[in-house]
Amino acid sequence: MPRLLFLLQSAFSLWMLVDAIGRPGISRYWYWIVLMPFGEWFYFFKYKIHDPDFAWLKALFGSLLDKPASIQELRHNAEQTPSLANKVSLAQGLYDADEYEEASKLFEDVLARDSTSPDGLYGLGVSRVGLGDEEGAIEPLRQLVDSEPSHNDYDGWANLANALWKLERRKEAIEVLSRLVRRSPRLQHRMAYAYYLGLDENRDEAQAQLATALQEFEFAPKYVKRRERAMAKQAREMLRQLSEATRET
């Protein structure tokens, strides 16, 4: 057993050394640090963990180390230092706790101070959706996707489309997602577009979107495939169900 651990440790040290040698822009003194006791681990957490392939590990450590602040703490911070950032943090905390009404009022306060705040526009939109006020959610979400389209990983687009769909404004909802796919043709965006196309009985276009998404997935980098493997499985299942529904009609 000790011999096995020694071999594993040696292999890990060699891996980190090779990585350091091949990493652009890194100082050569890191080569010596890697060879020192526990130096390979220091190098791993300094550089290697930030590589896309290890995003899951970085997120895991982040979730273990970063304890979210309580509502009481966020409220205290906002009262003691009523900065825009502290108000946004409190409003987001209230939204996460399903306190949509108070969150909505705070996001309105944020926008009163900065009418173009992406956090304020997004937060007000989703808080109003949480309150069942889809009509009131449309304006801030539309302003968000026009001014800061990639905010919160493009999540404003899906929320805007959902609000429009609930108001029976189906063509507008589908057009929003069509614009999203043209701007960011990622797997989850094509899946959302295909989902609403399917609900609108446009199964042929929905299948075309899913087929394109899965084809692009096959040529994606390895770290993207690992990250989106479960999503690709869902896309294949959606495509299968749409194909069956098309054959039955």
| pLDDT tens figures, 168-188 | 999 999 999 999 999 999 999
- In Å, how far from its chain's centre is CA 228? 12
Domain boundaries, the chain: 10-18+26-61, 68-176, 185-249
Round to whole Å and give the CA distance between 156 and 138. Answer: 10
Average per-residue pLDDT for the chain: 88
- The residue among 186, 112, 191, 189 whose CA lies nearest residue 156 is 189
95 membership: H or E segment, kind and range: helix 84-96
CATH superfamily of 68-176: Tetratricopeptide repeat domain (1.25.40.10)
What's the whole-number mean pLDDT along residues 46-62? Answer: 67
**Residue whose structure tokens are 């594993």:** 8
Q: Which two tokens stand for residue 211?
A: 């087929």
CA proximity to 164, closest of 186, 188, 135, 193: 135
Extended beta strands in 24-158, E state: none
Q: Is 184 helix (H, G, I), strand (E, B) or coil?
A: coil
> Is the entire prediction scored with pTM above 0.85?
no
